Each structure stands twice: as C-alpha cells, then as structure tokens.
Structure 1
C-alpha cells in the first residue's frame, strides 16, 4: 500500500501539516487536521493527518479517506456496514460493532440468514436470530444481549415483562433503567415498579423515581426520592413539587441561579443577584487571547493547575480575554455567585431575541470566541462546520464574534420561524430540528400534574435535557439584564 502512495505528490500541503503537528494533541488540532484531510489532494498526507489525531472519528475521517482513495473504501465499509454491502465485508466487521442494530432491523430475510450462518456464537448472532424470526423473547435472558438491545435498539419490539433483573444489576444498571423509561417501554416500566429501590445508588434511584412518577405512582415516587443521598437543586425542586415546603426554602437559600432555584425565586418574587461587569482593562496584553484557539487550549490547561485563581483573573483583565476571566472568577468564588457577562458581540432592537442569542452563547461556549468542541462545533455559537458551509461562510472565520454570532443568530431566527417557543428552539439548536420533532415534542403534548417539568426530565439525551433547562434560565436572566423584566420562567413554561 505504501509503495502505491509514493506516487502521490508528497510536497503538497506538507508545510501546513508540519506546522499543525507542532501543536499539542487536542480536539482543536483534530479540527484543523480534519480540514486538512478534506482539502489536500494527497492521500498519503491525508492518511498521515488521520494517524496523527488525538481522537479519530472513524465515521467521519475514514469516509474522507475513502473518498480520496479506493484503498480505504473497504475499511470505511467495515466501520459502517450498510444493507447493500453486508455480504461484501468480512464477518469480523459485524462482530466489531460495524453493523448497528437499527441497520440489522432493516435487512431482508436472505441477508439475515446469511449473517446467521456466518457468525460464530455471540450476542450479534443472537440478535440476528431475533430479527430473523421476529422473536425477542430471549433478549433479556443474557446480560450482554440485554444491554446490547436496551441501549442500541430500545424499540417496542423488545418490550416485555421482566420478573428478574439480577442479570443487569451492576454499576451500569442505571443505563438499563434510564433507556427503558426514556424510550417508553411500558411492560419493562411496570416491572421496574416492583424493584427494591433501597438497594441501588442515586443514579438508579433517580430513574426509578421518574419511572414511578411517569406511571402515576406518586407515593412510590416520593419514597424513592427521599432515599436519594445527594440533595441537589433538582432533588429539592421535586421534593417541593411533591409537597415538601421545607425543600422550597432550601432552593431559596441557594445563591446560585439555575433552572430550579430561579423557579423558586420567582414564586416568592425574590430577586436574583447577577454580576455582569468584571472587566476594567488593566492589562494591555493578557496572558491568553480568547480569539486564538491555541491560546484557549493553554488557558484550560493552566486553569487545571493554577492555585491562586484571583491572581490568574487579574492577568486576564482585558476585553481580549473577558470570557476567560469570567470562567476563572466563577471557579475562584466556588460557583457561589452568578457571573453573566455581556461582551459586545451582538445587538438587536428585539430585546427578547438579543437575550436569547446571549443565552445560547453562554451555554454553548461561555462566550469564548475560539472554542472548538469534541464534535468540532466552532466559535461562540458552536456552529457545526457543515452548517457554516451551508450558510456559505468560511469555517476558519468562526473564531471571532462578528461572523460566528451573525450566522448563529441567522440560524436561530430560522428556528424561531418554525417553532416560536424558546424552550423548543433551545432543544432544536442543540440536537437539530429533526431530533426535536421525532424525540421531544411528543412528550410535551400531554397536560398533567407535573408538566412541563416531567416532560423536561424525559428529553432523551442527557446533554439536550440539561441544555434546555440551562438555556431557558439564561434567557430569563439576560432578558432582565437587557431591561425586560416582564419575561419570567413561569410565563415561558406556560407556552
């Protein structure tokens, strides 16, 4: 293979690649290496970039390599086995998670029979048997097969009464319970109601609590909730919703504003204290420039090691590092205060929309212009490269407020034109409008005793679930900062 590669023009792009490789391994470097792979005409250099990555993403990176050379086509097909070439790949690809259960469910009988004959004894072979015979009764007779299905294919087909959960009662049991509850598997949910909740840790108890609440077992839900050891704002909030007035007082005593405390504050007209002016520009050249992604990497590294955080904050007292200083101060004050900065990044006559842009920016990046996420979301508004290209912009121009926030605001306006509700827009911004329509909206159609709070706890993905709460709280706070005190969490949740 290497002998063939030698005929490619090795000199192309090599200087740029060499420069990239001088930087420490990180998601920032991986982003640049990915862009290099897309743009170079040299397969050998693209492969070198791939091998130099901090965290390779086979679906993304092998696909790029496969488009550049047929030599990588088989490798890419192995990590992403599609129905049309299930007979072309080595059977080891199926055994190494190359074939998803969702794809397996779409295979015809001939392909399923082919796989069944080829596969050695394994959970994959048992899964093929289940789809081949449309018989899922044995899914939860094996620990490995049970987890394989509940996490990767929590479809109604696998829903069944379970009398013995002992096979699954390990440190991952919370995943079993969570996926059963989030994916509406009523037979399994009913089975979970009979578990002795006292035997489990807080994570399992939380989902058993949600399961009981979802199935209108309020008394059981209350018993489970009170056995949870770590009492967070979320736990006190639900204790309050279930009738405990003392729990409400606990929320009111908490100076840190979040979704749960904010709702309690509003219920008694208590004002929340916000600090949004923290820059005095005493430093002409800050230690780290927030517009430089490599500087931001160094900042995060030093933040982990630095002991005197107030001294560190002084070194960042500049408009070029306001977002970094805010993060340092938040940690220095041990998150007891509410620091909501307002960098000059966006303006709009519509105060409500302006507040929402700031709410998203705070949650996405804490206003750091040169942010790069694990998925290569870019800039203040954390825009995905494909979205940037859809808006005919340059991915390398996203590390300043102007271009990135302009595109983010444009995308938000489009989402509001379709959805209108800030909370729904937040979910869609985080997971996509398809995710919202397919996975979220169905929960919010129901009107019940604990709505919309119960629906918010049932949003499928952990990140999206908490994201919605944080953004809507940010929205209320920034609305007040920008002068609109009429917008409240109580009003927004009645939409």
Structure 2
C-alpha cells in the first residue's frame, strides 16, 4: 500500500458523503462497516452518537478506530486507557491499573535501581516486574541465567537500539542460547541482532544456535548472518534447515536459490525448475536454464451478461470473498461459472488460482481502458503493483483502510486530492477503478522523479519514500559478494522486503505478457549501479 510521510492537517470529510447512524446500523459487521464507523467518528458528532457507533465495531483491536473514538466519547474508561498508554512518567503514576497500561521496558530505562524496585512491587503483572528486576542486574550471562527466556528476550527486544548496543552486546555461550530458543521471542531477537552490525559480539554468538527448534524464517536469518561472516558451512546448514521447515513455496525456492549461489551446484537450479511458484528465484533459475513458465494465464472466457453483484461495493466484495473461502476445493471450479461476466474477471481469476492450489497463476489485465497513454513499461509496473495490492479487486479494503485497486491510504488520498484535477468527493469514490488508478499514477509519477528501478519503486510504494531513502543510504545495494541479493534479504522492514520481491516478479511477468524483452538477471545486475536506479546515491 502507498505510505507517504507528509505533514498536513487536512481531514478528508465531505458534505457530499455525510454518514449517518442509520447508514451504519443498516450494514453487516465487517471491515467495510468498521471503515464507515471510522469516517463517521471524524464527522461533527456528539459523544452519544460516537458511543452508539463504536458499539457496532467489529474489530475493537483496531487502534485507528479506538483513537478516533476516544476523541469523541465522554467514556472515561476509554479516555483513561488512551491517556495511560501515552504516559512515560511511570514513577509519578499512582493508579495501579494506569501503571500497568503505561508500562514498557523502554520507559523504565532512565530510572534508578531504587525506582525500578519500587515500580516492580507496585506492578500486578509478574512478567513486567521481572523485566524491571533484570534491568537492575549487571549485564552478564551469569546474572541473566536466573531469569526465564521470555524475560531475557523481552529485555533485549523492547529496550531500544542504543541500550542494546551499550549494554547487551555481550558474548553468549551455546548453553545460554539454547535456553533462549524455548521462547517464541527468539525470532525477533535473531532478526534484531543480524540487522545491527554494532552488535558484533552477539552476531558471532549466533553461530552456536543449532536451529532445530527454530522456524524457517529464523534459520534463514541465521544463514544470512553466517554468510556475512564468511562461515559458509554454517550458512549451508541453516539454509537447509530453513528449507526443511518452510511452509510456503517461495520460502522453499528462496533457500534453494541461496544454496545454489553458495555452492554453484546446479541441482539446486533444477529444484527451482520443478517449483510451480512464479517468483524472483524461479524466474532467475528459468532464465539461466532457458526454460519458460507454462503454468499461467493472461485471459479468460467471459460472457456478455451483466453481473447482479458489484465489485465497486466493499460490502458486496466481502460476501463474495466469504463465498469463495467457504466453498470446498473440489467445488471451486463450479463456482467459477457464476463469475463469467466481464466485470467479474478478477474474481474468476482468483477462484481458478485457488482451485489449482496456486500452481497456476493469473496475469490478467482488466483495466486497460484506464491506462491509456501509458508506455508498456509503465503499464507493466501499474499492473505489477495492482496484482500484489488488491488482486485486481476495485473495492479491496485493508486492515489499515488502504483503498481500492492500488491500496491508497486515506491520508495519502487527502494529499493527492490537494494537487490533482477533479479530486474525489468522498472515499467511496476510491473504489472506482478510474479514480484509484488516476490517483496512483499521480503518486507513481512523483516517485519516478527519484527512483528508476521497479524494485525500488515497489519498496517506496509500500514503505514510503523516506523509509526507503534511509535504507538505501545506509550502504545497501553496493558492490560486493552476493549482492544485490544480500541487500534484498537484509531489508529490516519485512513487509516491504517481501512486497518488493513479489512486485518485481509481477513486473517481469507482465513485461513478458506484453511482448517486451526483459531479463531479471539484468534487473538484478543494475541494482548496484546508482545511475540506473535512483538519484539519492552518488552517481558512479
């Protein structure tokens, strides 16, 4: 989804789209209804109206909704919860319940040992009290051994990079590390350590973890850590462990790709050729071995009928999605027959892929009429993003309320509305393909002033230009062994990291579908050449 870190005060509400309590009450519980309630809470309403609306929220864990509600309600319990969570002056909080809500290890870092001892006695939560106790210890494995793995890892994961670098970068032995693997928090620990080169002692210590008790992702990070420290045998072992524990096709392929890169053994390339998934790793292998994919489609048969259902309505899409999810696998192809109308092409494609357990992949192009005037390259990029963002569903709505085909966040929609001709009048209009694509094209055009590579554009589209520029200027995507692949795998923002890979694979496939010459190996090669990719780095 688009994230764009600008400061502005415009709140996008419109007299043309006034939402009423009656509107809300008429809708079934769903994410779409929660989105309506969020918009309603931003209108000029009183506390009683806010209470009635919030009572109908489906997902009360949504912090965006909770904070919007807290601004309108007179409900003291809610106001207290929000107020307490924001407080950092823990030692001044007298109310025990408020203290529990406010507490985090990070907020206690600047207190004295005496103050932490007093806070520990006041906290009802034993795990939180233990964290305060361990903060008072001298930093050594001998002192930490009396604490459980969850407490130790909570200390590490929640105290900030400055504290970790100053106090927690210590050598750990195999016995101590093995004891930590009993906690699910070990995954975050490993990820944090390998992404911070100031934690050099801890990075060296990670070689002692055997990995058998860890998940695929953690073993993959351990493999990258070993590779970066030239521990090749160790890297191979962790990659093999990661592959054996992988639950998704792309993760199996990822490990086979890296095992090939390290060993140069073509057996791993042959394993990639057997994969039915289309991703950057299998595209690379097939290009290298001159074997094309056959398991994809670009068009489907449609009829001239007009569907009684509308993909422009998020409530309607919610019903369709539930229908697909509740249909048995062997009945899915029968369900396809109900969605043969031209406007239902994205739904038909989605069902066919699911019916074939995603061993067949769709690269349909249902919105060409809204992409007139674009070059084939720009068109491929838009479809690559769209396929990943929404599966081509115009009324797609994310948990964070990203909107429509290109999943544009409401606050980004507001910003674009200030600088585009004929801005939309309300958020519902973002579920119309022509509007959503028009807004996304404006945003992409702005990004292309700074970024010229589809992978970099995908990173910025998902995580924001500021985030990606910061990542790039850390020295990522420079010349070096295993580059640019190490930089791609070492991006700390996991969502953007995986998003970029999928969009790049989509881009390559759409270029092929449109008949344009494209080489994924070439796209990889130029990632370390600033003049070919971006304006932020020194041009070589």
Q: The TM-score by the shorter chain falls in which range?
A: 0.7 to 0.9
- CA offset at residue 482 of structure 1? 2.7
The equivalent of 2:23 in structure 1 is: 19
Q: 1:323 aligns with which of 335, 346, 364?
A: 346
The equivalent of 1:368 in structure 2 is: 393
- Closer, same or farther in 2 for the Cα pair 1:160/1:210, shift >3 Å? same
Q: Does the 8 A contact of 1:150 with 1:180 survive in 2?
A: no
- CA offset at residue 201 of structure 1? 4.7
Q: 1:488 aligns with which of 519, 525, 534?
A: 519
Q: Is it true that 1:444 corresponds to 2:460 in the alignment?
A: no
TM-score normalised by L of structure 2:
0.79
Q: Is it true that 1:210 corresponds to 2:224 in the alignment?
A: yes
- CA offset at residue 193 of structure 1? 0.3
Q: Does the 8 A contact of 2:48 with 2:73 survive in 1?
A: no
Q: Return 433-442 or 314-323, whichever deviates more.
A: 433-442
Q: Does the 8 A contact of 2:458 with 2:499 survive in 1?
A: yes
The equivalent of 1:249 in structure 2 is: 270
- Closer, same or farther in 2 for the Cα pair 1:370/1:201, shift >3 Å? closer
Q: 1:233 aligns with which of 239, 253, 269?
A: 253
- CA offset at residue 333 of structure 1? 2.1
Q: 2:372 aligns with which of 347, 360, 363?
A: 347
User: How many residues matched?
Assistant: 475
Q: 2:503 aligns with which of 462, 466, 471?
A: 471
Q: How does 1:238-387 map to 2 (within 5 A)?
A: 238-243=258-263, 244-273=265-294, 274-285=296-307, 288-307=309-328, 308-344=331-367, 345-387=370-412
CA distance in 1, matches of 2:335, 2:361: 19
- Closer, same or farther in 2 for the Cα pair 1:195/1:114, shift >3 Å? closer
The equivalent of 1:389 in structure 2 is: 414
TM-score normalised by L of structure 1:
0.86
CA distance in 2, matches of 1:306, 1:373: 23
Residues 2-52 of structure 1: CA distance to partner in whole angstroms, max 9, x if unpaired?
Answer: xxxxxxxxxxx9993243234332222211111111114121221232232
The equivalent of 1:181 in structure 2 is: 194
SS at match of 1:165: helix
- Closer, same or farther in 2 for the Cα pair 1:199/1:77, shift >3 Å? closer
- CA offset at residue 347 of structure 1? 3.1
CA distance in 1, matches of 2:282, 2:35: 37
Q: Return 137-146 or 441-450, whichever deviates more.
A: 137-146
Residues 68-104 of structure 1: CA distance to partner in whole angstroms, max 9, x if unpaired?
Answer: 3565543321233356x984674534433x4555555
Q: Does the 8 A contact of 1:192 with 1:208 survive in 2?
A: yes
CA distance in 2, matches of 1:422, 1:284: 36
- Closer, same or farther in 2 for the Cα pair 1:423/1:177, shift >3 Å? same
Residues 114-170 of structure 1: CA distance to partner in whole angstroms, max 9, x if unpaired?
Answer: 676444365545656788x89755678542332223433451233222221244222
SS at match of 1:358: helix
CA distance in 1, matches of 2:480, 2:515: 34
- CA offset at residue 472 of structure 1? 0.8
CA distance in 2, matches of 1:329, 1:351: 26
SS at match of 1:418: coil
Q: Does the 8 A contact of 1:440 with 1:460 survive in 2?
A: no
- CA offset at residue 339 of structure 1? 0.9
SS at match of 1:213: helix
The equivalent of 1:144 in structure 2 is: 150
- CA offset at residue 57 of structure 1? 4.5
- CA offset at residue 236 of structure 1? 1.5
SS at match of 2:474: helix
SS at match of 2:155: helix
- CA offset at residue 275 of structure 1? 1.3
- CA offset at residue 331 of structure 1? 1.0
- Closer, same or farther in 2 for the Cα pair 1:335/1:66, shift >3 Å? closer
Q: Does the 8 A contact of 1:381 with 1:405 survive in 2?
A: yes
SS at match of 2:431: coil
Q: Does the 8 A contact of 2:207 with 2:222 survive in 1?
A: yes
CA distance in 1, matches of 2:154, 2:475: 25
CA distance in 1, matches of 2:203, 2:392: 41
User: Which structure 2 residue ranges, 5 or more long, are not aligned?
Assistant: 1-16, 247-251, 418-423, 528-540
Greater RCO (Cα-Cα under 8 Å, separation 6 or more) = 2
Residues 239-278 of structure 1: CA distance to partner in whole angstroms, max 9, x if unpaired?
Answer: 2112221110121233432111011112133333341111
